[in-house]
Amino acid sequence: MSRRRTLSTKKKVALLVSAATVAGGGAFVMASTSNAAPPKTAAESSVCQGLATALGNNERFIADQKANPDAQSQARIANREAVIKQIKVQQEASGCVVGESAQGSQAAQPAAPPAQSEEAEQPAEQAQPAEPSQPAAGAGEQVCNGSTVTLSGEGGAPAASSNQFPAGTKLKVTNLDNNKSTTVEVTSVSGSCVLLNNAAFEQVREPGKFLIRRAVIEKVG
């Protein structure tokens, strides 16, 4: 009888240990899940804001094409839809909310003037760096004051798209945060003043950023 009781007790202990292990494992899984970082919004990350802006620009372009179609609209729309898919892939890879669109991207551009107003409050400090940058641009006409610059997600040779300048216009974009610049030709229409394709944006971007907040845009041809 004592052996049976001993074995019975051992079995009970084993069962309790197993149950505790399973429960502990479940708790660990739940803890790991709860500790997973949620996707960042455009308001929380400049990278996410840049991607959301690019997505919004392309969505706005598609909406404009659908509202005012022409013979090439379907091809343009198909191209921009492919661009949007790529931007969403970049959003996921960057830990951003996939599909977040800054239709306020023109809302993001009006957000740039506050940066200009801060510069205006300190004209002595900002005017001197700004003056050398203008002569270096080749005496171009400064345009799109206060606009932010982001990428379209399109491939190909360095180029730009714009809702203000016709195809063939040459624009110089300077990133004041790193003093890099690129001169590109407008090849298509977009939903913002200047939208750089991937190759052009790579020439002026800061590593890991998809938005240029402090940009000088000049019409040089």
Average pLDDT, the chain: 74
CA atoms within 13 A on the CB side of 121: 6
DSSP string, 79-114: HHHHHHHHHHHHHHHTTB-TT---TTHHHHTTTSHH
Q: What is the pLDDT of residue 131?
A: 38
Please list the residues that pair with 171 across neighbouring strands.
184, 219
DSSP string, 129-166: HHHHHHHHTTSPEEESTT--EEE----SSS-EEESSS-
Residue 184 and residue 25: Cα distance in Å, rounded? 57
| Span 8-53, pLDDT tens digits | 555 555 555 455 444 454 444 444 445 668 888 888 888 888 888 8
Q: What is the pLDDT of residue 151?
A: 84
pTM above 0.75, yes or no: no
| Span 43-70, pLDDT tens digits | 888 888 888 888 888 888 888 889 988 8
Per the model's pLDDT, the better-predicted residue between 192 and 127 turns out to be 192
Contact 220, 170 (CB under 8 A): yes
Token pair 């041809």 is at which residue? 221
Give the amino acid at 50. G
- Name all domains of the chain by residue range, CATH numbers in brackets: 46-219 (2.40.40.10)
Coil vs helix vs strand at 40: strand
| Span 85-123, pLDDT tens digits | 888 888 888 899 999 988 543 333 333 333 333 333 333
Residue 85 and residue 82: Cα distance in Å, rounded? 5
139: left (phi over 0), alpha (psi -120 to 50) or beta: left
**Closest of 221, 81, 194, 197 to residue 137, by C-alpha:** 221
